[in-house]
Chains A and B, each alone.
Chain A
């Protein structure tokens, strides 16, 4: 039986969680913003680079929430790993980054969490450098669902840490 892992994407609304999943699973992108309510679940079979192990990622696209404590606990049952997404263009989506990550770590201390700054196509490298102090200690990857930059990479990295 193929290995199946539940991955949950979490973060504020409008940060691009659904777009990242659509880019990863269907390789498509749309500029239109459609709010996610509740949860969408998609899956994708991948082969982890280097190890050649096959794994099915069952990806839970949770509705965005500006307060992580309001996340419905039932959605997180059986989770194997998290991807925390914020929007590089909206400081409101990363101002509570430390609190949110601690919240996850306290409840799921053994699960891997990848932190990504999305919408990289909308900010310059200069901007990243200017905000280095905020991002440096938390961010694993900068992604763009629009261009596809680092999208495969983030899911592959997480999958690798799950098997």
Chain B
């Protein structure tokens, strides 16, 4: 019985062969390969060709594992092959062990393992490639933005100066068109920079106390003007119990609401725009505030209501509605950074309502901000101030020169390289009152220049206020500037008011 079972169920099958030292088969039990006596072993399979040379060696015991052979029916069998040679008196022995079942199981395991390793290597490469692509894109956008800022500053500055030169009505209108185009271009650059910051995960919520009432009024005022230009009614409905001083990201809230309002105005030809804000609840030092912007515009088809928040998405390709298609994407991402969502309710031909609920901190320690007017009050006196501008851009040099010259109480000295700063600052003949410092200088970075100034031995030199003029205003950049001793930053492109306000603030 046992023999019968063994015959039926034994999983490994062994064949024994006796060969001479030249590889001719002398004896075989024909278990796997039949009728092979008298043949050469290389007739069984090419594997044995390379064995022939070993048969002449004495007392060898070789094991070859996992060798694929073909049986007489042409089926693949996976074997271990043992070759034993003796003292030269006895002929060599070859044992073929059929371990196909065992090796097939191993094959399955190896297949899974190798596929998994290869896939993870490919994923790693793809990831690396995407990271490189992302870094290239961000560097490109950052540089591109930087290069655009100087010429825009030039256009904005000289447009302001032109306005004061007694223009005809026609010329004034041309300047208005120029201003509007430049501001649009400026906004586009800001949007592209914002979206690139969001996509690279660099956008962060900056918590600071601010006056919510003032911010809402300011946003409403700007968009009221734009609505009225199109003949639209602008309705505000701000709940009277809204907290006045809250903690939150003022800049991002301004951008979210402004983007939603600009969008509403853009896609509405008749009717009204309604801007609402109401308090949902106050709990655990947090105020939850509902913002809602409604219009009576063209509306959005239901199937497109999600995709309107995608970057560069413009549903309506009519030339009537210009824009980068980034405004809603930026608004959505900023709201999502706070863990909230923007919802849209819209009917084609009737209008749309965008709404969101946002949390703000309420803290009794928050104090009212000084109003901008108070901060910037500066009485032009007879005193003359020496301003040192460190910037290699001729456009910026000319813009700053024109802005300061129009006021009459500033002397401007210009340095185009970082290395020229210290000799000018330490020159007792004309003491510098304030430094306007570009960051991307041809020799050393502006923040390094600031560090050198702060290390000067004389108090009157090392305490000179330094304002950076730069397009690089990521959170990390601002930290770096502060650490280097830079007092303030004016973002390029800047306009006359912004620059003068900052200069006055630091000269007070």
Contact = CB atoms under 8 A, between A and B. Distances in A.
Contacts of B118: 13-14, 33, 90
Nearest to B112: A35
A6 B50 contact: yes
A63 B107 CA distance: 11
B67 A34 contact: no
Interface stretch (B58-66, B197-205, B366-374): B58-66
A64 interface: yes
Given A35-B107, A42-B46, A78-B54, A92 B121 contact: yes
Nearest to A43: B46
Size range of the chain A interface in the assembly: 20 to 34
Contacts of B111: 34-35
Size class of the contact patch on chain B: 20 to 34
A14 B117 CA distance: 10
A4 B117 CA distance: 37
Interface in A31-49: 33-35, 37-43
A41 B125 contact: no
A78 B50 contact: yes
A41 B54 contact: no
Contacts of B53: 78
Which one of B49, B103, B115 has the highest number of Cβ atoms from chain A below 10 Å of its Cβ? Answer: B49
Contacts of B115: 33, 35
A41 B45 contact: yes
Contacts of A79: 50
Given A39-B67, A64-B114, A77 B50 contact: yes
Contacts of A90: 118, 121-122, 125
Interface in B398-424: none
Given A14-B118, A64-B114, A38 B103 contact: yes
A74 B110 CA distance: 21
A77 B66 contact: no
A58 interface: yes
A39 B68 contact: yes
Nearest to B104: A37
A64 B118 CA distance: 12
B78 interface: yes
A13 B110 CA distance: 10
Contacts of A75: 64
A109 interface: no
A39 B115 CA distance: 19
A72 interface: yes
B114 A13 contact: yes
Contact of B66 (A13, A37, A78): A37
Interface string A122-158: 0000000000000000000000000000000000000
Contacts of B64: 74-75
Nearest to A59: B46
B47 interface: yes
A90 B107 CA distance: 23
Given A58-B49, A90-B122, A38 B67 contact: yes
Given A74-B63, A74-B64, A91-B125, A37 B49 contact: no
B5 interface: no
A77 B107 CA distance: 24
B428 interface: no
Interface string B341-355: 000000000000000
A13 B68 CA distance: 17
A39 B66 contact: yes
Interface string A9-20: 000011000000
B106 interface: yes
A39 B110 CA distance: 14
B65 A72 contact: yes
A64 B67 CA distance: 14
Contacts of A64: 114
Scoring A34, A38, A40, A75 by chain B CB atoms within 10 A of each residue's CB, the highest score goes to A38
7 contacts: A34-B111, A35-B107, A63-B66, A63-B110, A77-B50, A77-B54, A89-B125
Interface of A: 4, 6, 13-14, 33-35, 37-43, 58, 63-64, 72, 74-75, 77-79, 89-92
Interface of B: 45-47, 49-51, 53-54, 62-68, 78, 103, 106-107, 110-111, 114-115, 117-118, 121-122, 125
